């Protein structure tokens, strides 16, 4: 097994550059998730590791091997796609073993590997079925099984759960986490779903516009984002952002109608900032600075959608039995240590 290293990796389609020099180290056995909004380049980057897209410049290594110009089959990777791409006329068993059969592996070896993969994926009872007689989740398991039997150094997943309904997604997410624990291989997983990223990853790579915004362990990104983009992307519901300005050596937040003492190196008096507050770190209290426009009761938690007098909107997570209702006038309280500051223009974090 092996880690994966990208050095100044660039992708161009004709004149258009879509990946702008990515440097990244994925350790052996690590579960690495590429996450970001649609079009940020995560699939392209994954397909470059797979060898399905040519790398315009830079180097891709798997273990100590430079695979940049190698064919996909030589790289020691196996990819699982969003569309399962199973052969409809073959049984589960035949689908899983087909790749090995084509590369001339002996029948006994194929049977052993298929049996082992179907044990891991709990597909033993379905080996003689054809894909049409399987649920979406089972089909995706077969696609994963096909990758396992190849014994790759690196597993590549391209939005593998996107075609499943919400309940199955959660179930398969747990399955994939279990699979990683059991086989311990290096895995790279692409998703636009930050919950999948948070729950599966050892290491999250947040991409935007073909650049890496930040790399880190899930909770490190949540607690210590480098910029407004990462702060807003990681966490659900998203962090609230309000205009702020440096006045009298403190941070004045017009929407809150007060100053906040944030422990950060503040820039010059009058500098425009953005203050970031997570919904789960805010508490409603009696007051008259904001109005509740709407509440969503999810059972365990409720979300109150507030309108500040400034026209800015924010979300507050409420727990416990006392919950707000639409039309209430409220104030907000929070610990100043929970507030994040960003430069208004660049979005860079001020620490
Ligand atoms: P993501 O997976 O993050 O949604 P992609 O990796 O699919 O994003 O795409 C990254 C960018 O590359 C997008 O702006 C997309 O329009 C562009 N792109 C992808 N494939 C091609 C192509 N064959 N030709 C030109 N541009 C492409």
What are the pLDDT digits (tens) for 151-177? 999 999 999 999 888 888 998 999 999
Same domain, residue pair 269 and 229? no
Average pLDDT of the segment spanning 329-333: 96
191 C-beta closer than 6 A to ligand 1: no
CATH number at residue 221: 3.40.50.300
How do residues 32-66 score in pLDDT, each as one tens digit?
999 999 999 999 999 999 999 999 999 999 999 99
| Distance from residue 39's CA to the centre of ligand 1 (Å) | 6
Whether 202 and 327 map to the same domain: the answer is no
Among candidate residues 203, 233, 263, the one where a domain is terminated: 233
Residue 226 and residue 250 in one domain: no
Q: Residue 342 forms beta bridges with which residues?
A: 274, 349
Q: Which domain holds residue 283?
A: 241-350
Q: Please tell me if the CB atom of residue 42 comes closer than 6 angstroms to any atom of ligand 1.
A: yes
Ligand 1 atom closest to the Cα of residue 38 is: 4
Atom of ligand 1 nearest to the CA of 159: 2
52 Cβ below 6 A of ligand 1? no
315 and 171, same domain (yes or no): no
Q: Whose CA is nearest to atom 24 of ligand 1?
A: 13
| Total domains in the fold of the chain | 2
Q: Is 285 in the same domain as 203? A: no
Q: Same domain for 128 and 220? A: yes
Q: Is the peptide bond before 237 cis (omega within 30 degrees of 0)?
A: yes
What would the two tokens of residue 169 be?
């997604």
279 Cβ below 6 A of ligand 1: no
Same domain, 261 and 179: no
Query: Pick from 202, 233, 264: which residue ends a domain?
Result: 233
Best residue among 12, 13, 36, 213 to mutate for probing ligand 1's pocket (most ligand atoms within 8 Å of CB) is 13
Taking the centre of ligand 1 as the mean of its atom positions, its distance from the CA of residue 302, in whole angstroms, is 37
Q: Are residues 176 and 156 in the same domain?
A: yes
- Are 36 and 183 in the same domain? yes
Residues 60, 49: contact at Cβ < 8 Å? yes
Burial of 27 (0-12, 13-18, 19+ CB in 10 A): middle
Of the three residues 233, 261, 291, the one that is the final residue of a domain is 233
Residue 1: band (very low, low, confident or very high) from pLDDT cuts 50, 70, 90 = low
**What is the pTM for the complete model shown?**
0.95
What 159-166 contacts at long range (C-beta under 8 Å, 24+ apart), as own/partner pairs, is 159/43, 159/82, 159/190, 159/191, 159/192, 160/80, 160/81, 160/82, 160/189, 161/191, 161/193, 161/196, 162/82, 162/191, 163/82, 163/83, 163/84, 163/136, 164/136, 164/137, 164/140, 165/136
> Do 218 and 257 share a structural domain?
no
Both 168 and 95 in one domain: the answer is: yes
For residue 321, the model assigns a pLDDT of: 83
Q: What is the mean pLDDT of residues 308-320?
A: 95
- The response to whether residue 48 sits with its C-beta less than 6 Å from ligand 1 reads no
When the pLDDT of each residue in the chain is averaged and rounded to a whole number, the result is: 95
The whole-angstrom separation of Cα 191 and Cα 188 is: 10
Residue 2 CA, ligand 1 centroid: distance in Å: 27
Distance between Cα 41 and ligand 1 center (Å): 6
Output the CA 149–ligand 1 centroid distance in Å. Answer: 30
CATH number of the domain where residue 276 is located: 2.40.50.140
In this predicted model, what pLDDT tens digit does every residue of 136-152 receive, in sequence order? 899 999 999 999 999 99
Whether residues 129 and 187 share a domain: the answer is: yes
- Atom 26 in ligand 1: residue holding the nearest Cα: 13
Give 189: exposed, middle or buried? Use CB within 10 Å, 0-12, 13-18, 19+.
buried
């Amino acid at each position: 097994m092996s880690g994966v290293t990208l050095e100044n990796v660039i992708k161009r389609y004709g004149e258009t550059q879509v990946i702008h020099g990515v440097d990244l180290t994925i350790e052996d056995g690590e579960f690495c998730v590429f996450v970001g909004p649609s079009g940020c380049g995560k699939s392209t980057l994954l397909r470059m590791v797979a060898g399905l897209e040519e790398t315009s410049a830079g180097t891709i290594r798997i273990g100590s091997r430079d695979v940049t110009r190698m064919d996909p089959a030589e790289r020691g990777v196996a990819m699982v796609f969003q569309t399962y791409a199973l052969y409809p006329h073959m049984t589960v068993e035949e689908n899983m073993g087909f790749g090995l059969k084509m590369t001339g592996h002996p029948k006994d070896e194929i049977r052993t590997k298929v049996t082992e993969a179907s044990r891991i994926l709990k597909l033993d009872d379905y080996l003689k079925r054809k894909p049409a007689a399987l649920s979406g989740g089972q089909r995706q398991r077969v696609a994963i099984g096909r990758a396992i039997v190849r014994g790759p150094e690196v597993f590549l997943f391209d939005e593998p759960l996107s075609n499943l309904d919400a309940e199955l997604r959660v179930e398969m997410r747990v399955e994939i986490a279990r699979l990683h624990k059991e086989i311990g291989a290096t895995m790279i997983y692409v998703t636009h779903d930050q919950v999948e990223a948070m729950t599966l990853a050892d290491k999250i790579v947040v991409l935007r516009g073909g650049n890496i915004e930040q790399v880190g362990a899930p909770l490190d990104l949540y607690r210590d984002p480098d910029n407004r983009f990462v702060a807003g992307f990681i966490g659900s519901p998203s962090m609230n952002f309000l205009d702020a300005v440096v006045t009298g050596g403190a941070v004045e937040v017009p929407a809150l109608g007060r100053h906040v003492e944030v422990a950060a190196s503040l820039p010059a008096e009058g500098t425009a900032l953005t203050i970031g507050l997570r919904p789960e770190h805010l508490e409603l209290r009696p007051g008259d600075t904001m109005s509740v426009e709407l509440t969503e009761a999810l059972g365990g938690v409720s979300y109150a959608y507030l309108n500040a007098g400034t026209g800015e909107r924010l979300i507050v997570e409420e727990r416990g039995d006392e919950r707000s209702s639409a039309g209430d006038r409220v104030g907000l309280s929070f610990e100043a240590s929970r507030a994040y500051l960003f430069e208004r223009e660049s979005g860079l974090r001020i620490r």
